[in-house]
Amino acid sequence: MSFDQAKAELNEVGYLNLEGTENIDFAAEIKKLKKEKNAIILAHYYQEPAIQDIADFVGDSLQLSYKAAEADADLIVFAGVHFMAETAKILNPNKKVVLPDLNAGCSLSEACEAKDLKAFKELHPNHLVVTYVNTSAEVKAISDLCCTSSNAKKIVDSIPLDQPIIFAPDKNLGAWIQKETGRDMLLWDGACIVHEAFSIDKLILTHKEHPKAKIIAHPESEDHILKTAEYIGSTSGLINYVKTNPAKEFIVATEAGILHEMQKEVPNKELIPAPSHEDNTCACSECPYMKMNNMRKLYLCMKYELPEIQVSKEIQEKALIPIQRMLDISAKK
């Protein structure tokens, strides 16, 4: 379904008419709807705290894919961004998957259109295409393997050494994986607007103020930020690190939504968000796409079961192949 079609449908059922929702206790209503509709709410760590608190499961993009694949609820409510909900639909095509705001996209996904990747593949016919899950279903459908930030190294390591690779669309994650694996890959020129916004100058100043703090970073960050980090990992990897590392202070270079779950896990440790270039007020970096979802939209989306994620059978079947390969490789010890 195109965005315009979905919008027309939403208008019909009054979804866009938000009047009359002012006095609703969204948390209570969402809990009721969850039972009534046998729904499961899957939320990414970058969602606002109220959404994380009401979700059945909060996780990183790989964990959410596994949960979506095994979900036996009638309705999968995906509190995250479009590519994540689409991945859930690809993995579990007979379920209805809804996303609170259809506009919740991703700068990485937008940087890599299927037609451009197809043309690039044609220029490099001997290359195998590894795409980060932050891509559209159409891009996945022409990929050989998918990866997330938590399994990218393992996925690339699983490819024979003499096999040339195209890695898309995140150039920062790709460059980090190149370093980690020693593989020479052709990198697509995409980036995450949130992780590219961290300021190295401000980070150094922050570290001067907290000299004992360990810097930890998501691999979507730029190389100069990653060079300062004691640990680099996915959102779940970062949470795990602060739990298991004995340090008492951490400077965290990823989207600020992660701090909610992290602080719950380590209530006695100090978590300092890494500062971004633009930020003169609160030093935190928020993904504008992730933050398009809110409790009101979550409630309306569950009530009307809209906007629904649609993927054609042809694309679903093709896109499932690289995702399933990723899950299989990832699950191997």
Stretch that binds ligand 13P, among 4-12, 22-30, 144-152, 197-205 (CB under 6 A): 144-152
Query: Which of ligand 13P, ligand SF4, none has residue 327 at its interface (CB below 5 to 8 Å by kind)?
Result: none
- Identify which of residues 65 and 181 has a Cβ nearer to ligand 13P in the complex: 65
- For position 181 contacting ligand 13P by CB under 6 A, the verdict is no
Comparison of 79 and 106: residue with beta carbon closer to ligand 13P: 106
Judged by beta carbon, residue 30 or residue 104, the one nearer ligand 13P is 104
Residues 6 or more apart whose CB falls under 8 angstroms from that of 14 comprise none
Report the nearest approach of ligand 13P to the CB of residue 160 (Å).
25
Between 48 and 255, whose beta carbon lies closer to ligand SF4? 255
Looking at 124-168, list the stretches that DSSP marks H as alpha helix, in order from N- to C-terminal side.
137-141, 152-157
DSSP-based three-state secondary structure for 15: coil
Q: Which stretch binds ligand 13P (CB under 6 A): 13-21, 71-79, 147-155, 244-252?
A: 147-155
Residue 55 vs 290, nearer CB to ligand SF4: 290
Tell which positions 243-302 bind ligand 13P, by CB under 6 A: none
- Say whether the peptide bond before residue 275 is cis (omega within 30 degrees of 0): no
Q: State which of positions 185-204 bind ligand 13P (CB under 6 A).
A: 192
Question: What are 237's two structure tokens?
Answer: 């990897």
Query: Shortest CA distance to 63 belongs to which of 174, 155, 151?
Result: 151
101 binds, among ligand SF4, ligand 13P, none (CB under 5 to 8 A by kind): none
Q: Does 86 bind ligand 13P (CB under 6 A)?
A: no
Which amino acid is it at 191? A
Cα gap 174→153, rounded to integer Å: 10
Residues found near ligand SF4 in the complex (CB under 6 A): 46, 81, 106-108, 134, 192-194, 220, 255, 287, 289-290
* Residue 135 binds which entry of ligand SF4, ligand 13P, none, CB below 5-8 Å type-dependent: none
- Under the criterion CB under 6 A, does residue 47 sit at the interface with ligand 13P? no
Distance CA 273, CA 283 (A): 6
Given ligand 13P, ligand SF4, none, residue 60, with its beta carbon under 5 to 8 Å by kind, binds ligand 13P
Distance CA 26, CA 22 (A): 10
Identified binder of ligand 13P from the candidate list 109, 148, 285, 293, rule CB under 6 A? 148
| Closest distance of CB 14 from ligand SF4, Å | 29
Burial 239-273 (b: 16+ CB within 10 A, else e): bebbeeeeeeebbbbbbbbbbbbbeeebeebebbb
Contacts of 228 (CB under 8 A, 6+ apart): 200, 203, 204, 207, 215, 217
Tokens of 46: 């970058």
In a 13 Å sphere around the CA of 124, the CA atoms on its Cβ side amount to: 17
Calpha distance 114→37 (Å, rounded): 35
According to CB under 6 A, which one of 87, 131, 135, 234 is a site residue for ligand 13P?
A: 234
- Which of ligand SF4, ligand 13P, none has residue 149 at its interface (CB below 5 to 8 Å by kind)? ligand 13P
Contact residues for ligand 13P (CB under 6 A)? Answer: 60-62, 106, 134, 148-150, 192, 220, 234-235
